[in-house]
Amino acid sequence: MAQPLKIIFAGTPDFAASALQALLSTEHRVVAVYTQPDRPAGRGRKVQFSPVKQLAVEHDLEVFQPKTLKDPEAQQILQRHQADLMVVVAYGLLLPQAVLDIPRLGCINIHASLLPRWRGAAPIQRAILAGDEMSGVTIMQMEAGLDTGPMLSIRSTPIDPAETGGSLHDRLAELGSEALIEVLPGLSEGRVKAIPQDDSQANYASKLDKEEARVDWSQSAVQIDRQVRAFNPWPVAHCLYGEKVMRVWNSEVVSGDGSATPGQVVATGKTGFDVATGEGVLRITQLQMPGKRAMAAGDFLNAHTMDGVVLT
């Protein structure tokens, strides 16, 4: 019979907090929580706890926030917890081999892709941008390479044609938590078989950059729509309306006259306005102007004449 495990949890954002919350509902004992140091955030730039730290504090868990785990002193502190396992979820720090070797059962990671499809920092957004039809989570035994470790469990989910980075993030967070809890008993008893990754199928999911959220209207409507969905809620696809930045929150590919200049508005209606692209027509259905809240494009049209306007 599987014995409850002593677990060190390491994570930082909301995605990781979901997994910690799931662990706290089991018989396993979280003996320490590691998360990124507190940093200024929001408009007021006030120092804020990470979502993982907020949850840990609510449950009176001991929190550690080293700037690096390469420091021998930090490694000695980690060793004192005498944990069976370390669970790492979007922690944000590299784990040196010395740390990977400390827990009796090693370190495992919840990765938000069907490995080895997307290794790296932004697998959710890269999957949508690439037009993947499936996504999922992989529970992986960690090793020194970037997301290269053998796989312990895989859960998949289809990517809906209207899927955004935000909606897929939330679904994968739930899937990842479920997969983590399911794999722990087998890991405790040593009956989980790790499957090596096929390195020849790996792609690198690089970190998101605000600049790549700028819409290039010479791209196809299909590709721009993927861009809009992938970068919702961050960094949000955008273009210029005159000299003002228009943030595009939602869109859809529609049939229509795509022979106009890319970026030109070719039709307007109650649900939004249609923009010619390098191939096909894209309907903008939700947008945001500077200093304003996001609004339905149909409402924006009540105060703005868009016919013939060229977005850049």
State pLDDT tens for residues 163-176.
Answer: 999 999 999 999 99
- Separation CA 62–CA 84 (nearest Å): 17
User: Per-residue pLDDT averaged across 238-248, rounded?
Assistant: 97
Q: Which residues contact 77 (CB under 8 A, 6 or more apart)?
A: 64, 66
Q: Which amino acid is at 285?
A: T
With 80 as the cut, is the pLDDT of residue 284 above it? yes
Q: Beta strand pairing status for 272-276 and 265-269?
A: antiparallel
CB 217 within 8 Å of CB 205: no
With 70 as the cut, is the pLDDT of residue 274 above it? yes
What mean pLDDT is reported for the chain?
A: 95
Predicted TM-score (pTM) of the model is 0.93
With 90 as the cut, is the pLDDT of residue 60 above it? yes
With 90 as the cut, is the pLDDT of residue 2 above it? no
- Separation CA 244–CA 197 (nearest Å): 46
CB 21 within 8 Å of CB 59: no
DSSP result, 123-141: HHHHHHHTT-SEEEEEEEE
Q: What pLDDT, on the 0 to 100 scale, is given for residue 141?
A: 97
Q: Distances from the Cα of 71 to the Cαs of 36, 93, 96, 281, in angstroms?
A: 15, 12, 10, 54
Local confidence band at 59 (pLDDT 50, 70, 90 cut-offs): very high
State pLDDT tens for residues 190-241.
Answer: 999 999 999 999 999 999 999 999 999 999 999 999 999 999 999 999 999 9
Torsion of CA 80, 86, 91, 92, to 10 degrees: 70
Which residue, among 51, 56, 25, 31, has the nearest Cα to 39 in the 3D structure?
A: 51
User: Per-residue pLDDT averaged across 23-47, rounded?
Assistant: 91
- Any alpha helices (H) in the chain, and if so which ranges? 14-24, 51-58, 72-80, 97-100, 123-129, 165-189, 221-230, 297-301
Q: What pLDDT, on the 0 to 100 scale, is given for residue 41?
A: 78
User: Per-residue pLDDT averaged across 72-81, rounded?
Assistant: 96
Q: What pLDDT, on the 0 to 100 scale, is given for residue 254?
A: 95
Q: Which amino acid is at 134?
A: M
State pLDDT tens for residues 40-53.
Answer: 877 778 889 999 99
Local confidence band at 1 (pLDDT 50, 70, 90 cut-offs): low
What percentage of the chain exceeds 70 in pLDDT?
99
The two three-digit tokens of residue 172, written as one number: 């994968």
Q: What pLDDT, on the 0 to 100 scale, is given for residue 139?
A: 98
With 90 as the cut, is the pLDDT of residue 63 above it? yes
State pLDDT tens for residues 100-126.
Answer: 999 999 999 999 999 999 999 999 999
Phi, psi of 267 (to 5 degrees): -165, 155
Q: Beta strand pairing status for 119-120 and 134-141?
A: unpaired
Local confidence band at 185 (pLDDT 50, 70, 90 cut-offs): very high
